[in-house]
Amino acid sequence: SLDQLYTPEATETLNILREQIKIAREGEEPGS
């Protein structure tokens, strides 16, 4: 797994970024 290359802090940051991207994409799709 690529996550094994990252420190826990980096993995946490990536998870936060993924969540923000998910929210942003949902915001761009009204009615979905």
Per-residue pLDDT tens listing for the chain (32 residues): 665 677 889 889 999 999 999 999 998 877 65
pLDDT at 4: 67
Under DSSP, the state recorded for 1 is -
| Model pTM score | 0.57
1-32 per-residue burial string, b: 16 or more CB within 10 A, e: under 16: eeeeeeeeeeeeeeeeeeeeeeeeeeeeeeee
When divided into structural domains, the chain yields a total of: 1
Structural domain of 18: 1-31
pLDDT at 1: 60
